[in-house]
Amino acid sequence: MPPNTVSDVLTNSTRSVITEDKFQELIKQGDKLFVYESKVYKVNNFIAKHPGGEAALASALGRDVTDEIRSMHPPKVYEKMINLYYLGDYMPNMPAPKTAFKKTKQQQNIQQQQKEPVLELTWEGGMSVKAYDDAIEELYKHHAKDLVQDLKAQQDLDNVKIREAYRKLEQEIHTRGLFKCNYYKYAKEGCRYASLLFLSLWFTLYGTQTWHYMVGAAFLAGFWHQLVFAAHDAGHNGITGKSEIDHIIGIIIADFIGGLSIGWWKDNHNVHHIVTNHPEHDPDIQHLPFLAITNKFFNNIYSTYYKRVIPFDAASKLFIRYQHYMYYLVLSFGRFNLHRLSFVYLFTAKNVRNRMLELSGITFFFIWFSALLSTLPSWNIRIAYIFVSYMLTFPLHVQITLSHFGMSTEDKGPNEPFPAKMLRTTMDVDCPEWLDWFHGGLQYQAVHHLFPRIPRHNLRDCVPLVRQFCDEVGLHYYMYNFSTGNGVVLGTLKSVADQVTFMKEVAKNNADIWAGEKQHAH
């Protein structure tokens, strides 16, 4: 039996206390720890078996992830299952109280000087000019330290306020029944999917002219585009709420019908939800050599997800300079890249759930898609059909990237509350209600990031509550319409592109100066 099992915890009358220093020491020794509700949990033996993926759990280690855990899991996980991994109660380091600040001899002198008129000290020769300057500098340092401590204390208070309000918001959403899935919405969506598939097959199988086939390809793209929203729900265990069943639903939709791995998607997406927009940790913004949303990518950063350096090489320097012109074109090749990522994941990742079923699903996809292509009259039309059906799924890739590409990529440290981080790194896209079908309801990505377990059909109803929460705690809620959102993203891409151009010009000027100096020396 592992040392930290329930029976151990229950029979232990004296609960062990783990100080912040001890916590850091254990992590240095290789323990995989995190804090939930002021308790330390150790997941060394569980991490590889974590149903939400090893990478997701790995991205949460070494800090307090109370809000992350509550937002990602059904209550049974944080009320019962988590107890199996309890290690001890967490005790953070307390900031030294100001009165306990031990004064040095020099500081005592300064305090003395504060009581005495400075002029007297200066003119009566009690203190040299240098000593006077030093004393003033010490005073400033002392006050600056106090100021920093006060600011930190204020920040801590604000953070507590945000966390408490976030809990209240979660409760309110529960009370309004918005965590419950409305299956009637799926019936409506099912009709839409069936219509798109029917139209695609009708134009493809009964067409007689090239444009008929291309319309068939466009409807197929529409069918895949819409299906992804249902696959997203399954990936979040948001259809039946039962992880095993939703995973199978996800495999049927993503692998059998779409030819893409739901396992890859979940592995990647769950990490994205925890470390949103972090250049080193979030795979959803790591797209070199084609796209870079921050100049942090110029530094050959190490991706903790892909476990390799992402080089800012010659190809990156070339593509990034034009990325704001190429954005939509690059995204239109997204579906081809998703096949690649799916295969890499299924063939190389450890602990893949239902690996064989996923591989069978993707094989089935290539069989049915090839059979469909074989009904077309020529190779030219077949190739055009592949490109049209694949590339016209690009609105989906725009929708996915739109919510994050124009947003903050800063790392504000482990103390930033989870809701604050989600609202800083994610924007919502507003649209009229009749257009919800086009965005799948997922245009409210900020709300989705705050509560990934809310079914997407309910996100719109949560918007006023989130707005009120933001007003209450003083957080900014970013919401743009579709075209402004696109403008924000293109602006970000252009600004990064301009920096590469500038760097190139500086390098060229330097090279010219060197060449000139060399010539001069000769």
Among 32, 39, 232, 236, binds ligand HEM (CB under 6 A): 236
Angle between helices 210-235 and 394-405 (to 10 degrees): 40
Q: Is 69 in the site for ligand HEM (CB under 6 A)?
A: yes
Near ligand HEM by CB under 6 A, which window of 71-79, 170-178, 475-483, 509-517?
71-79
Among 351, 353, 356, smallest CA distance to 54 is for 351
The phi and psi torsions of 286 (rounded to 5 degrees) equal -100, 90
Q: Is 35 in the site for ligand HEM (CB under 6 A)?
A: no
Q: If you search the block for the tokens 């291309």, which residue do you land on?
A: 214
Token pair listed for 83: 């107890």
The phi and psi torsions of 86 (rounded to 5 degrees) equal -65, 135
User: At its nearest, how many Å lie between ligand HEM and the CB of residue 277?
Assistant: 16
Q: How many residues does the chain have?
A: 522
CB closer to ligand HEM, 223 vs 305: 305
Amino acid code (one letter) for 191 = C
Binding flags for ligand HEM, 78-97, as an x/- string (CB under 6 A): ---xx--x------------
Q: Is 243 in the site for ligand HEM (CB under 6 A)?
A: yes
CB closer to ligand HEM, 247 vs 335: 247
Amino acid code (one letter) for 400 = I
Helix runs in 49-128, H state only: 54-58, 66-72, 75-79, 105-115, 118-123
* Cβ atoms of residues 280 and 302 within 8 Å: yes
- Per CB under 6 A, contacts with ligand HEM among 43-62 are 43, 46, 50-52, 56-57, 60
CB closer to ligand HEM, 74 vs 395: 74
User: At its nearest, how many Å lie between ligand HEM and the CB of residue 236?
Assistant: 4
Token pair listed for 487: 């403008």
User: At its nearest, how many Å lie between ligand HEM and the CB of residue 486?
Assistant: 28
Q: Is 72 in the site for ligand HEM (CB under 6 A)?
A: yes
Contacts for 198 with CB less than 8 Å, ≥ 6 apart:
none
Q: Is 278 in the site for ligand HEM (CB under 6 A)?
A: no
CB closer to ligand HEM, 112 vs 243: 243
CB closer to ligand HEM, 222 vs 235: 235
- Per CB under 6 A, contacts with ligand HEM among 159-178 are none
CB closer to ligand HEM, 272 vs 335: 272
Q: Is 268 in the site for ligand HEM (CB under 6 A)?
A: no
User: At its nearest, how many Å lie between ligand HEM and the CB of residue 335?
Assistant: 23
Angle in degrees, CA 88, 422, 487, rounded to 5: 160
Q: Which long-range contacts (CB under 8 A, 24 or more apart) does 239-245 make?
A: 239/181, 239/186, 241/74, 241/181, 243/51
Please count the residues of this chain forming the interface with ligand HEM, following the rule CB under 6 A: 27
Gap between the Cα atoms of 298 and 294, Å rounded? 8
Among 26, 35, 40, 65, binds ligand HEM (CB under 6 A): 65
* Cβ atoms of residues 89 and 39 within 8 Å: yes
Interface with ligand HEM (CB under 6 A): 34, 41, 43, 46, 50-52, 56-57, 60, 65, 68-69, 72-74, 77, 81-82, 85, 236-237, 243, 270, 273-274, 452
